[in-house]
Amino acid sequence: MNSLFDDNARLMGWMRVEAALARAHAKLGHIPKKSADEIGAGTSKVELVRVLEIEDEIHHDLMAMVRALSEKCGESGKYVHLGATSYDIEDTALAITMRDAGGMLRSRLMGLQDILGRIAKEKKSLVCVGRTHGQHAVPTTYGMKFALFYEAIGRQAALLDSAIRQISVGKMSGAVGTMATFGADAFKLQDLVMEELGLESAPISTQVVGRERHAQMLFAIASIASILDKLAKDIRNLSRSEISEVAEGFAKNQVGSSTMPQKRNPHKCERICSLARIVRSNCAVALENIPLEHERDLTNSANERFIIPQSFILCDYMLKQTILVLENLEFFEGNIKKNLELERGAILAERAMMALAEKGMGRQEAHELVRTTAREAAKEKKPLKEALSQNKKVSDLFDGGELDKIFDYSTYTGKAGEIVKKIIK
């Protein structure tokens, strides 16, 4: 991913567009075919150091490339950049880079989704505590937890696909988008260039392609980063000492702390959460780039040199780290079971309430009975099943065997197994 955005790749991208422009001119009879061939050959002879040398003198990066390429094309150099403005080249080359980088992210996403699907299937029957507001709620399964992320990654892939389509657009439309410098064949020329580069022609533009396209891509990346943030945060919280249901893999010689030898910190997940903040902030900058003045100003240019490469590179890294975490994730089933029983059956209060309602007690009355009984049981550190069995209204409706079934954690996960199977399928 880094190599797509380095200075040399940027230079090669610009020259690739220049060569396509020359070939389009030649096909339309605007310049000799021999000149287009010489320009194409010249792109392999230009060195970055020469471009930077010219840029130091003229303070214009794209024009520095044009001069360096022209130097390598002899008489044909006069046809380099014919009719084009800087952003005909820069935006078209950037579209190629962002399209290719988006494809790389998509491949990583699919790899991550495969791992999530495998874990969801493996753990589809592993019952655990569900938590809302940081409190124990009702039972769920680890299959449900990972199927949730499996499905979310599928939606992120669809969002990314849409962003890739939006960004895969280039332009040859000149200084304000009117195509005035390209003459009568302007539409044909633009289409020929984009066809060679595998892009769509922008239907209309100013001096630049509309920045909402770039913002959409950075939003898709930020959305992916936020899903990874949520997954990493869940793992971090579940690996707390007092919960300790899962943990990042820990190498034999790995050190958790410089001063506390016993520590096993979830540092990879913390890193993922940390980097997500940068990626999301870059999306805000991309949105600020949309309202450029009139046919364009330059306020997008400097920041895009940071936010676009950085967002792709960080998201790619976060995906790699998340895959690494999941491939080595440890489950502590003893602690999972212990946490299920931590509140002595209180997490099955909902089930008890519904069972009372099914026996004919009003739903609201059942809710109040179980609520007050659960509070008393918690105060006395007594199992909820025991407290309910001592309530005459309950004992009149249930025998001991029925209460045992009500307070079996493993049978109160609803359609979790079917949901996991359906989602993965």
pLDDT digits (tens, 9 = 90+) for 111-147: 999 999 999 999 999 999 999 999 999 999 999 999 9
Q: For the chain, how big is the Rg over CA atoms in Å?
A: 31
With bands split at pLDDT 50, 70 and 90, how would you rate the model's confidence at 258?
Answer: low
pLDDT value at 197 more than 70: yes
How does pLDDT run across 201-232, given as a tens digit for each residue?
Answer: 999 999 999 999 999 999 999 999 999 999 99
Question: Catalytic pick from 59, 133, 258, 294?
Answer: 133
Beta strand residue intervals within 238-362, DSSP E: 246-247, 330-331
Distant-in-sequence, close-in-space partners of 356: CB < 8 Å, separation ≥ 6: 365, 366, 369, 370, 394, 397
Complete domains list, the chain, with CATH? 2-82 (1.10.275.10), 87-249+262-338 (1.20.200.10), 346-406 (1.10.40.30)
Say whether pLDDT at 252 is over 70: no
Supply the pLDDT for residue 262.
Answer: 72
Distance set, CA 87 to CA 174, 338, 339 (Å): 8, 62, 59
> Which of the four pLDDT bands, split at 50, 70 and 90, describes residue 149?
very high
pLDDT surpassing 90 at residue 261: no
Mean pLDDT, all residues of the chain: 95
State yes or no: is 133 an active-site residue: yes
Q: What is the pLDDT of residue 257?
A: 66
Residue 125 tokens, joined: 């029957």
Cα–Cα distance for residue pair 68/54, rounded to 1 Å: 8
Known catalytic membership, residue 25: no
Name the catalytic one among 257, 281, 395, 410: 257
